[in-house]
Amino acid sequence: MKLHQLKSVFVSSLILLVVVGAHAAEITVFAAVSLTDSLKQITAAYEEESGDKIIFNFGASSTLARQIEEGAPADIFFSADEAKMDGLEKKDLIDATTRKSRLGNSLVVVVAADSVLQIQSASDLTNGSVQKVALADPKAVPAGIYAKSWLEKQQVWLMIGPKVVPTENVRAALAAVESGNVDAGVVYKTDANISKKVKVAYEVPVADAPVISYSMAFVKESKQSDAAKKFLNYLDSKEAGDIFKKFGFSLRN
């Protein structure tokens, strides 16, 4: 290469670097805790490609929604149910045009890996050998609300309600089962997949369970409109979809 060509390549690379560097954004995503592992993997690839940085706040969707209502700095909200998203939409806190129902999931009953309990139906949970059942708080957390809805439909909620140990979020319910301090727990299938310390005792048939729908949207108060919407689109892409499926989620669109 001639010297002046070298120089222009150098200068334009510098400009490109500066431009890209100047546009490297930091996006905060509030996401349901059941999405922890899948989202982390999806983001690894995205951060490389885009140069943007994604910061996560994982938690129970109910807690996250509350935090957003109180003004917490989220750019994207990814909830484990539609209800929490509805709540925010009603308060005009999310951009409804960006809202998408993205994922489905299913429920399972898990027991500790070394447990000898046999659960083959919802009513097996009413047995005397099951003294404590961990659920994400059925008053608020989507996973718990889904579980309660299933148990009500099976007409065993009245007997099981008193055995319930409500936990902060669905991963806490999983941890309770892993620790052996409860006899069983109802969590998402995707949660059971990532834990070696529990085994699935019973898979709730789709027909018995309520419809599980994860919803994502752009938060209006965000200051990173472009970067956030770009990431939202990426979450909607095929690459992301493949990773979600790998972890056990189903795609709703």
Partner 1 sequence: MTSEEWQIVWFTAWVSALSTLVITPFGLALAWALARRDWPGKSIIETIISLPLVMPPVATGLILLKLFGRRGAIGGFLHDKLDFDIIFTWRAVLLALSVMSLPLLIRSARIAFEEVNPRLEQIARTLGAGNWRVFFTITVPLAVRGIVAGMILAFARALGEFGATIMIAGNIPGKTSTISLAIFQNVQLGEDANAFRLLGVSVILAFAAVWSSEWLLRKTRHRQ
Residues in contact with partner 1 by CB under 8 A are 62-63, 66, 69, 131-132, 137, 139-140, 162, 164-167, 176, 179-182
Answer for the pair 29, 216: CB distance below 8 angstroms, yes or no.
no
Residue 19 has phi, psi (to 5 degrees) of -60, -50
Tokens of 69: 């209502």
Of 104 and 166, the one with the shorter C-beta distance to partner 1 is: 166
Distance CA 180, CA 229 (A): 42
Of 103 and 141, the one with the shorter C-beta distance to partner 1 is: 141
Q: Say which DSSP state 35 is in.
A: G
Nearest distance from C-beta of residue 109 to partner 1, angstroms? 18
In 69-132, DSSP assigns E strands to 76-79, 94-104, 107-112
Answer for the pair 178, 197: CB distance below 8 angstroms, yes or no.
yes
Q: In 3-state terms, what secondary structure has residue 211?
A: coil
Answer for the pair 76, 218: CB distance below 8 angstroms, yes or no.
yes
Nearest distance from C-beta of residue 241 to partner 1, angstroms? 32
Nearest distance from C-beta of residue 246 to partner 1, angstroms? 32
Tokens of 114: 């070394």
Nearest distance from C-beta of residue 117 to partner 1, angstroms? 13
Nearest distance from C-beta of residue 61 to partner 1, angstroms? 12
Of 136 and 217, the one with the shorter C-beta distance to partner 1 is: 136
Of 8 and 179, the one with the shorter C-beta distance to partner 1 is: 179
Of 32 and 228, the one with the shorter C-beta distance to partner 1 is: 32
Nearest distance from C-beta of residue 126 to partner 1, angstroms? 18
Of 84 and 102, the one with the shorter C-beta distance to partner 1 is: 84
Distance CA 171, CA 191 (A): 7
Q: In 3-state terms, what secondary structure has residue 23?
A: coil
